[in-house]
Structure 1
Amino acid sequence: MIKSKYDWKKMDVPSNPELAEQFTSQLGISEFIANILINRGIDNLDDAKHFLTPDITDLNDPFLLPDMQKTVERIQTAIASGEQITVYGDYDADGITSTTIMFEAIEDLGGNVDIYVPNRFSDGYGPNVKAFKNIINDGTTLIITVDNGVAGNKAIEEANKLGCDVIVTDHHDLPDVLPNAYAIVHPRVKTSDGNLYPFGMLSGAGVAFKVATALLDEVPYDLLDIASIGTVADVVSLTGENRVIVSFGIQAIQNTQRPGLLALLKQAKVNLGTFNEQDIGFALAPRLNSLGRMGDAKVGVDLLHTFDEEEAQEIAKFADKQNDERKEYVDNFFAESLKIIAADDKSKDAPVTVVVGKEWHQGVLGIVASRLVDQFQRPAIVLTTLADSDEIKGSGRSIPSFDLFNAIDPIRDKMVGFGGHHSAVGLTMPADQLDTLKSQLAKSAQEQGLDLTTKSTKMITSDINIDDVNYDFYEDLRKLAPFGEDNPEPVFEFKFSEIADVKRIGQDSSHLKFSIKGRKNQIGVIAFKLGYCADDLVDKSSTTKIIGVIGTNTWRNQTNLQIMVEDMRQVEQPVIDMRTNRLHTKMFNNSGTYVFFHQSIKQQLASVIPEDGHAYLFTDLVERQVHLDTVFIVDCPDDIEDLKAVLKNTTPNKTIFYLYKKQLVSKIGMPERQSYAKLFKFVSNHQDFDIVNQLSQAADGLKIDQRSLAFMIKVFLELGFVSRSGNVIRLNPAPESKQLQTAPSYQLREKQIDAEQHLLLANTSELVSFVSNYFETDERKKLNGN
């Protein structure tokens, strides 16, 4: 049975109908979208308008950033005097794009500019003293850091001693003591007059873009494509200025003339016609990141900057290859990690998963740690031994309820190198200190009150019937895009009747592909890393619940809607559909309570009820309240109220529906009034009508089904329209006027047809939905998320 990774919580519908009405009428959006905006803290028309239709004028004045004027003047001086300028970047996608933006802006102004992208393995993150010395010795007199530098105190002091100015442009967490740089452009550093920049959540690329805007004295539209990639890749808040950058950046990428970007898009098989922020996050950013993870990230800048198509294609192919190698390393190390954990009983119970591999590639350890966090829903640290060294090195990732940095910080003196923040750390340590690390993590888990029995919360926007998922609804949702941090894509719990076409996909069969069906709609579903759920998914004894987001999938130039699974769970199926029009003895082999609605059928089957089973006529159960484990509903009731009474009074844990009925009265239907008139006239003209021997002949003459004719005669008898003597009926001379529907047989048939509609003619999903209301306990409702 599939268990959910998250604790599902439905989004509260905001109780502000007046504001929702204002949004819908003034902005031309649906009430659904209006309520999402309100739920996300947008409480006035102007903010909603700017959110839905970002404008380039929504970008703040770059000179509101600290030290911006000083920065621009220093760069202008360096350009004018021909000084050697070096842009000092970083090796991830945000660093690569930041470097490209700053380099191109200065180059466009005629500056003598070069770049230095640190190597993850030899230089490490941020300003490196040795690297700074080499850069300065090569003639640089102005270093501009991008996406790093705010914690580079030592290297910056060394640069100052060597007579080189350093301008820091960064967005990372601020240290207790800022470096003694010539200028620091950072959205969360106060200006000299004590003010803060209006938007503090820019990426490194975003900060570089603001510097470029100030330098060029205009918004550099030709850099928006690069800036949007860095912004999405670094998972910063997609609100405010970042929303503007990404919205216009997506348009810029769709129209880009950069050979490098075009080559990378082609290599990643991205459809520019449907290009959006997800393509940046899942296609472009990973390929740029892989360059720094696997080797030298400088080629990433070359790729984005080059106008040589051959070079662009060559580097794009290389990036794609590096990305494939990166994925292969991750898959292999993750699989090995699972084996290591399975072989160590202590690891299974540890509050923080710690794995040490043998000479694993250092560039992917953080990704492996993230995979382990996702797998086990607990913090994880993945380390590797180093060749010809007694040290181990690695990365850690955490969950919201555990501060991994503060957990390790008390033993910082045991580390060779250590840094990071709440959710991610990097560390190098002597191998003989591994037990010390594990002990400290266990101690800190206790101090922080880490509760691994509590799942992380996944917010669900709303339920949605699969039949209501269409392109119009999808386009409505896209009005909220671009999606990302602080503006998540709406997550839905999908209501459907059937799961079909389940198959495992991917080279290692680790993913799932299937369809979910409604009454009139069928949509494909993809579930990454959930291939192991395939067998459970086709198990009809459980009810599967699915939450996910709605997207598109393009295959062979055809684009269709697709659901991407965020989480799944199964609950024991309280209703099992085994409806039949034939009963056989093996259906009565199990223990439980067998309920009958017709005494004749109960008597016929009395001998096949097992010794540990019980047989009841429904009237025996509606007169008393009793909780039963398993109930078999053997035959179909004539009146659905009888079934409701049984379910309410027995509250079974599991109900198996045979609902046996040999022939459906629904197929015969209810005779029309004109048929009754024809029968009345026939009986008037045929006194002493023999209903046994002449029924077939009469049915043919009246062109009425023989069973319907027999039913109508019974109704006439009950209403006193005719009388019977033996097989003969005759019209009463002065019958009392009565409505047909007052006859007991007429009323019974109406109830039978209603019961058949709900119980025999409904599909499984409709049957389950209908009957569940009458026997769900509070506990089961809780399990089902109701």
Structure 2
Amino acid sequence: MGNWFVSMKKADFQGIAARYHISPIVARLIRNRNVVGDENIDLYLNGTIAELNDGMLLKDVDRAVDILTEKIEGRAQIRVIGDYDIDGVNATYILQEGLEGLGAVVDTDIPDRIRDGYGLNRTLINRAIEDGIDTIITCDNGIAAGEEIAYGKSQGLTIIVTDHHEVPYEETEEGRKYILPPADAVVDPKQVDCTYPFQGLCGAAVAYKLMQALYDSLGKDEEEIDYLMENVAVATIGDVMDLVDENRIFVRQGLEMLKRTKNPGWRALMECTNIDVEHLSAYHIGFVLGPCINAGGRLDTAKRALELLSSNSKKEAALLAGDLKALNDSRKEMTAKNLEEAVELVESTPLGQDKVLVVFLPDCHESIAGIVAGKLRERYYKPVYVLTKGKDGVKGSGRSIPNYDMFEELSKCRELLTRFGGHKMAAGLSLKEEQVDRLRILLNEQTGLTPEDLVEKISIDMQLPFAYITEHLIEELKVLEPFGKGNPKPLFAEREVRAIHPRILGVNQNVLKCRLQSRDGVEMDAVYFGDVKACLEYMNAHERIAVTFYPGINEYKGNRTIQITIVNYQ
């Protein structure tokens, strides 16, 4: 199960522990997350809203604020155009709420995933013109829509772009030439000449910063829109941004606010998905609430998720939340069915020999191709493209591994593709059906992946003897939360442990439970949630094994016991 290695980063762990009243174990874990120096350690442990950077530092925010001030005063019609995913929906809601709070005349539009595709297009612009719109403000899209924005400008629209995606560029003899859209203001921290101190914001965070700056400039109290930090937190987790720096503060603060939210939509969604609100964590956003918000844009319309956030009555919110949960349940069923079909293809045809998996599932719904690709990548630890049949040819989504730059590899095949975009770890593409086999051959011929690249590297924080695991330590690990990309859950390891009485439990037979005994006789309750049958066979066949794990507390009928969750074994 992968190559295991222990992070051996050096620091004065005793000194850090004494200064910040934490244990040396926690000090080591913080160092392993590349948090170095007193200022950064203090920000990591104790950062509050006060430490957030001023939105005015973002390039063009001043211009956007001037334009919006003039438009609000002149009662001009403003339209927010977002994106159909969790970041886009929350960014749209933030701009709509913020502008309405200032008395602006504002409405929203979100493209349809299948009909419109991603981002600003002529249909959306023409619709705005027909509706008498004066100003468009984009969120979570727009940075790459140069032609569409030029068209909108030629039709007399004022256009403000807020986005967080990479700025498109072309290679010239003088080096990279970045291509900005001809909007009236472009707010995106990824611009080369933007001096904002933190580049890793999601689209909703950029929208929030603009609203803060606007309220400030109009002499309004920024605290009036503090509640929108809930939406920034959800979008940051849902769009899988690194949970470092400002994002860490947004998420930590936003999760606390969500526990007491006044928003009927969030409350209804937490209720219908049975979330224990008191213990709400980043996990619930990423794997329970987030997928329900995304399901609207995948299988129906993202406007439904926006309606949920905007709903004012408990009754309406409960109906909308129920709809989104039902959509997500059917998305899960579709994913399971398509995944099964894909695994069958990989394991019963020559596809399985390829280093780069290109799997054509004609009947797969195009909106879940990326989810299926992600699950295949987890299973085989290879870069994966899942292709489906769209109305204009074949569309696909790719998910990658660290040593394979998806955007670059697709760039080498551009003559086979009608469209493509993305970044190192994920990409989207379109092509004619007759080119599918050619693409598979070419991606495999040109790849420089070695057998070592195709073995997952598992980074362990430290070896931790069972005797050190106490309720106090488990409680202390909470200072590291929220966990997610860029701030992973700690991973501990212990070797030469014996599995006592391993057995498979659960209604769906999907949990393995046992006791683990270390060399010095200390025993721990343990559970495993992966391929439980394979794990059971392995434990029965080996007297002693090594495990990586994370410790927690199991509460059952009022009893609290320490229990470790096994992540890997070998």
Match for residue 370 of structure 2 among 366, 370, 373: 366
Q: Which amino acid aligns with 1:536?
A: E
1:427 corresponds in structure 2 to 429
Q: CA deviation at 1:38?
A: 2.8
1:512 corresponds in structure 2 to 511
Equivalences for 1:223-262 in 2 at 5 Å?
223-262=228-267
2:87 corresponds in structure 1 to 94
Give TM-score scaled by structure 1 length: 0.67
Does 132-141 or 538-547 show the bigger shift? 538-547
Q: CA deviation at 1:145?
A: 0.8
2:174 corresponds in structure 1 to none
Q: Which amino acid aligns with 1:204?
A: G
Q: Measure the CA separation in 1 of the matches of 2:300 and 2:556.
A: 33
Equivalences for 1:468-617 in 2 at 5 Å?
468-494=468-494, 496-503=497-504, 505=506, 507=508, 509=509, 511-518=510-517, 519=521, 521-528=523-530, 530-551=531-552, 562-569=563-570
Q: CA deviation at 1:288?
A: 1.0
Q: Deviations over 1:530-566 (max 9, x none)?
A: 1341441441435333213334566678776554443
Does 35-44 or 157-166 show the bigger shift? 35-44
Q: Deviations over 1:265-296 (max 9, x none)?
A: 11221112212222211221111112212120
Equivalences for 1:335-414 in 2 at 5 Å?
335-344=340-349, 346-386=350-390, 391-414=393-416
Q: Measure the CA separation in 1 of the matches of 2:112 and 2:241.
A: 24
Q: CA deviation at 1:211?
A: 1.0
Match for residue 439 of structure 2 among 437, 442, 455: 437
Q: CA deviation at 1:498?
A: 2.6
Asked which structure has the greater CA Rg, the reply is 1
Q: CA deviation at 1:417?
A: 2.4
Q: Which amino acid aligns with 1:12?
A: M
* SS of aligned partner of 2:134: strand
Q: Deviations over 1:313-341 (max 9, x none)?
A: 11111111111111111111010111112
* SS of aligned partner of 2:159: strand
1:216 corresponds in structure 2 to 215
Q: 1:561 to 1:93 in 2, by over 3 A?
A: farther
Q: 1:308 to 1:561 in 2, by over 3 A?
A: farther
1:286 corresponds in structure 2 to 291
Match for residue 188 of structure 1 among 184, 187, 190: 190
Q: Deviations over 1:139-189 (max 9, x none)?
A: 111111111111011211111011111111111111111111111111122
Q: 1:430 to 1:82 in 2, by over 3 A?
A: same
Q: Measure the CA separation in 1 of the matches of 2:132 and 2:554.
A: 52
List, as ranges, runs of 4+ consecutive aligned residues in structure 1 with deviation greater than 4 Å.
Answer: 504-507, 551-562
Match for residue 274 of structure 1 among 274, 279, 297: 279
Q: Which amino acid aligns with 1:544?
A: I
Does 548-557 or 354-363 show the bigger shift? 548-557
Q: Measure the CA separation in 2 of the matches of 1:243 and 1:96.
A: 21
Aligned residues with identical type, % of pairs: 30
Indicate conservation of the 8 Å contact 1:66/1:187, yes or no.
yes
Q: Measure the CA separation in 1 of the matches of 2:309 and 2:556.
A: 28
Q: Measure the CA separation in 2 of the matches of 1:76 and 1:453.
A: 53
Tell me, which stretches of 5 or more residues in structure 1 are unaligned? 570-786
Q: Which amino acid aligns with 2:251?
A: V
Q: CA deviation at 1:501?
A: 4.5
Q: CA deviation at 1:506?
A: 6.3
Give TM-score scaled by structure 2 length: 0.92
Q: Deviations over 1:340-377 (max 9, x none)?
A: 12231x21211111211232111111111111111111
Q: CA deviation at 1:199?
A: 0.6
* SS of aligned partner of 1:178: coil
Q: 1:515 to 1:329 in 2, by over 3 A?
A: same
Q: CA deviation at 1:40?
A: 3.1
Which protein, 1 or 2, shows the higher relative CO under an 8 Å CA cutoff with sep ≥ 6?
Answer: 2
1:121 corresponds in structure 2 to 114
Indicate conservation of the 8 Å contact 1:362/1:384, yes or no.
yes
Equivalences for 1:703-718 in 2 at 5 Å?
none
Indicate conservation of the 8 Å contact 2:396/2:428, yes or no.
yes
1:140 corresponds in structure 2 to 133
Q: Deviations over 1:18-70 (max 9, x none)?
A: xx333222211111112222333333223212210111111001100010111
Q: Measure the CA separation in 1 of the matches of 2:555 and 2:103.
A: 43
Q: Measure the CA separation in 2 of the matches of 1:556 and 1:164.
A: 62
Indicate conservation of the 8 Å contact 1:499/1:514, yes or no.
no
Q: Deviations over 1:435-471 (max 9, x none)?
A: 21012101221xx344366412111011223343332
Indicate conservation of the 8 Å contact 2:492/2:549, yes or no.
yes
* SS of aligned partner of 2:242: coil
* SS of aligned partner of 1:252: helix
1:160 corresponds in structure 2 to 153
Q: CA deviation at 1:195?
A: 5.1
- State the number of aligned residues: 551
Q: Measure the CA separation in 1 of the matches of 2:206 and 2:252.
A: 17
Q: Measure the CA separation in 1 of the matches of 2:469 and 2:5.
A: 21
